[in-house]
Amino acid sequence: MLLLENVPLAGLTTLGVGGPARYFCEARNEQDIRDAVVFARERDLPLFVMGGGSNLVVADAGFPGVVIRIALLGIKQRSARRGQVLFSVAAGEDWDAFVAGTVQSRFAGLECLSGIPGTVGGTPIQNVGAYGQEVSETIVEVQAIDLESLESVRFSSAECQFSYRSSRFNRSDRGRYLITGVDFTLLHGGNPTLRYPDLREHFGTPSTQPTLAEVRDAVLTIRRSKSMVISPGDQNSRSAGSFFKNPILPVKRYDEVVARVIAKGLRLPSYPGGDGYWKIPAAWLVEHAGFSKGYTRGAAGISTRHTLAIVNRGNATAAEIVALKEEIQERARYEFGVELETEPVFVGF
């Protein structure tokens, strides 16, 4: 294990803010992970596990403990049943590169999750989803290290307790398990998923079913139009992705929000969330709370293309990012009575 001191973290994140890690280890195997955990434990230091840095807000003071950056690599493929194939993927593999490979080989199940930055190991934690798909639909098993016992453990899809943008790994067991690999089952030659309105609108009413590659291209095109694909020349992409989750409300709370919206002379877009719940677009709430695309608050701001993306306009501090986040939350609470929950992980606060 190579352990470095006072390593800047801002450049390892897509948002580009934050201070250094007191100690930093790039783990290329499971023993590196165990050694780093023991090092932190013996010195009573906090521990943080980092993947691709695409969903992080690091405090300006940095992190006063040990940061483990996961660099485990490897993809194995074997036949399952009924045309399905099992992919065993190490946690450090680049997510979009893996998705691109499955689409190119005509495996259905992940095509709508194209263009999402980060690593494979981060996807089960928040049950990453976009454009009508969630990773939980294809995950069959997650491998991890129990940071308490340092033993290797495995979780079936059911044991991961997936829900909207959530799993046991960011709820009841937050911080206990370090994911080392994920198994997916994908269908060879399967049809693409076309549930999401933006995708259906993109294709209109074609005479033939779009291919997986065409759907991936469409997703990338839509994401680029919103600056949700990392591009060095696009200031809007200096973000942590969607900053707020779409609220999912029970009927009574939903009716209360609708009444407040109607009283303002507005119409609230919403979608059935299952089991009597309703999903409200967070982007609509943000915009109608007074934060339009291109809004600026010092060096922090909102993307000119996507209302949900808080961006670093060049030299923003983490404090400025958080201040804008809190301003948006307070205004949405005041205007609509809705609490906007954040998607990124906050490190060192």
Nearest Cα to Cα of residue 10 among 18, 23, 182, 2: 18
Active-site residue, selected from the candidate residues 114, 136, 167, 242: 242
138 near 107, Cβ under 8 Å?
no
Please name the residue ranges forming H helices in the chain.
Answer: 30-42, 95-104, 197-203, 212-225, 251-263, 282-288, 318-336
DSSP letter (8 states) at residue 153: E
Helices 251-263 and 318-336: angle between axes, nearest 10 degrees? 90
Q: Is 22 a catalytic residue?
A: no
13 near 53, Cβ under 8 Å?
yes
Q: What is the CA radius of gyration of the chain?
A: 21
- Which residues, other chains included, contact 93 with Cβ-Cβ below 8 Å and sequence gap of 6+? 73, 74, 75, 119, 120
Max Cα-Cα span within the chain: 64
Phi, psi angles (nearest 5°) of residue 216 = -60, -45
Q: Is 43 a catalytic residue?
A: no
Active-site residue, selected from the candidate residues 22, 165, 238, 297: 165
Q: Is 339 a catalytic residue?
A: no
Q: Which long-range contacts (CB under 8 A, 24 or more apart) does 344-347 make?
A: 344/15, 344/55, 344/56, 344/57, 344/240, 344/241, 344/243, 345/55, 345/56, 345/57, 346/56, 346/57, 346/59, 346/322, 347/9, 347/18, 347/48, 347/56, 347/57, 347/58, 347/59, 347/63
Scored b (16 or more CB within 10 A) or e, 90-125 reads bbbbebbebbbebbeeebbbbbbbbbbbbbbbbbbb
Residue 64 corresponds to which amino acid?
A: P
* Residues annotated as catalytic (active site), given as ranges: 165, 242, 343
